[in-house]
């Protein structure tokens, strides 16, 4: 009897404890673990593949023959916009960002494709609304080495900093206004962080956009071609004579180099004589006997400059077809044939292409020398620049 009473008390106690625990569970509030606050880096890494330490853009070690006074003298970088690693990184992101166009369909890279030597493999590029550009998209490679610092085929931009904002505002290319661009970029979480790194604070302005884009473009330098490997085997200065063989060249490539450099053969070095294969100013290269596109003449309102255009680098020229401002030549063979037999007697034909008697200079190359010249031009191809991650699309 007593034992049964103890059992009843024990059972009632257990039931009471269970009821108490149940009530406490019902009345208690479980505090969830707070979600971690996103750190600034998350806004960048969420959309971009960027290294923790920026790539080296500012202090690339170039071969000695690209570091001499004559080459340094070609550089158009202003003292107020020297290339920095973080600045060029921001520029790279801007270069590939389709948000820079009105309908988010076109970026700078849409018309300047890395695999095509940062040019466009079509005659005219397509803009944000399906319209076509007025001229072929030229390469941006070695843009830093155009001595007079002017840009576009017709050189209407007096600096690269000015040029970088013009396609963004063009009604065919990207269709934006600068105030709308600033507002748009401020709403993208990764840009304040990137501007902070590049400029010391997160303020986003169109001027800073132009500075960063210019830094990235100037960082795209070609120096790892077959030509460079051969050139490095010879003294930096003085420059080797045209017939000095490069040890890594074929006989045909060495002959092509000789044709290129020798005045009474190809004579190409008269306009592309620097190790960067650029020219210091605009030229009329005899594409037409009459003016079909005024080029620099329209910019200056000077008929004596009609038909004159910027001379872009020949580095990576194998990758940048079609050729000329209007993309009229599909192959290097056609380009060589033009200078061999097709130079037209335009009134503004550049002196380098005119004989003492006033007639156009035709190189009149043999079939073998034309083939050799094409072979040499292909030694200027820097395959690494077409795949280098420093210049590639950073978006995931």
Q: Are 246 and 235 in contact (CB under 8 A)?
A: no
* CATH entry 1.10.760.10 includes domain 226-383: yes
pLDDT attached to residue 279? 86
What's the rounded mean pLDDT across residues 322-345? 98
Quick: pLDDT tens for 133-165.
999 999 999 999 999 999 999 999 999 999 999
Q: What is the pLDDT of residue 300?
A: 98
pLDDT value for 2: 36
Range 54-65 average pLDDT: 97
Q: What is the pLDDT of residues 165-219, one digit of tens each?
A: 999 999 999 999 999 999 999 999 999 999 999 999 999 999 999 999 999 999 9
Q: pLDDT class for 85, splitting at 50, 70, 90? A: very high
pLDDT range class, residue 280, cuts 50, 70, 90? confident
Give 224-241 pLDDT, tens digit per residue.
999 999 999 999 999 999
pLDDT in tens, 23-51: 444 444 455 666 655 556 689 999 999 99
Fold for domain 40-222? Cytochrome Bc1 Complex; Chain D, domain 2 (1.10.760)
The answer to whether 40-222 and 226-383 have equal CATH topology is yes
Sorted by where each begins, the domain ranges of the chain are: 40-222, 226-383
Q: Mind listing the pLDDT tens digit for each residue in 305-316?
A: 999 999 999 999
- Tokens for 230, please give them: 């051969």
Q: What is the mean pLDDT of the chain?
A: 92
pLDDT, residue 60, reads 96
Q: What is the pLDDT of residue 1?
A: 41
- The pLDDT value given to residue 273: 86
The band of 18, judged by pLDDT with boundaries at 50, 70 and 90, is: very low
């Amino acid at each position: 009897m007593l034992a049964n009473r103890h059992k009843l008390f024990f059972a009632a106690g257990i039931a009471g404890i269970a009821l108490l625990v149940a009530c406490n569970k019902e009345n208690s509030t479980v505090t969830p673990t707070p979600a971690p606050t996103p750190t600034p880096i998350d806004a960048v890494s969420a959309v971009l593949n960027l290294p923790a330490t920026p790539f080296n853009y500012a202090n690339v070690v170039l071969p000695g023959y690209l570091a001499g006074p004559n080459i340094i003298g070609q550089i158009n970088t202003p003292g107020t916009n020297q290339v920095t690693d973080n600045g060029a990184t921001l520029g790279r992101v801007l270069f590939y960002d389709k948000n820079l166009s009105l309908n988010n369909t076109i970026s700078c890279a849409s018309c300047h494709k890395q695999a095509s030597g940062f040019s466009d493999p079509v005659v005219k590029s397509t803009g944000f609304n399906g319209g076509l550009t007025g001229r072929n998209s030229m390469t941006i490679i070695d843009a830093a080495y155009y001595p007079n610092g002017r840009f576009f085929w017709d050189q209407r931009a007096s600096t690269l900093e000015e040029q970088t904002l013009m396609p963004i505002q063009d009604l065919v290319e990207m269709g934006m206004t600068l105030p709308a661009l600033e507002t748009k970029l401020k709403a993208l979480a990764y840009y304040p962080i990137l501007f902070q790194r590049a400029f010391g604070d997160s303020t986003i302005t169109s001027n800073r956009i132009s500075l960063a884009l210019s830094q990235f473009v100037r960082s795209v330098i070609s120096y790892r071609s077959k030509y460079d490997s051969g050139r490095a085997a010879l003294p930096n200065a003085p420059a080797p004579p045209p017939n000095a063989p490069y040890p890594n060249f074929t006989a045909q490539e060495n002959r092509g180099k000789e044709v290129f450099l020798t005045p009474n053969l190809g004579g190409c070095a008269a306009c592309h004589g620097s190790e960067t294969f650029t020219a210091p100013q605009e030229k009329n290269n005899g594409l037409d006997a009459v003016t079909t596109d005024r080029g620099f003449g329209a910019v200056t309102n000077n008929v004596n400059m009609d038909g004159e255009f910027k001379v872009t680098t020949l580095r990576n020229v194998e990758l940048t077809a079609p050729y000329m401002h209007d993309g009229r030549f599909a192959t290097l063979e056609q380009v060589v044939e033009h200078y061999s037999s097709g130079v037209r007697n335009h009134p503004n034909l550049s002196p380098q292409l005119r004989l003492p008697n006033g007639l156009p200079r035709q190189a009149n190359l043999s079939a073998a020398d034309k083939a050799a010249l094409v072979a040499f031009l292909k030694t200027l191809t820097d395959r690494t620049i077409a795949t280098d991650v420093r210049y590639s699309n950073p978006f995931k």
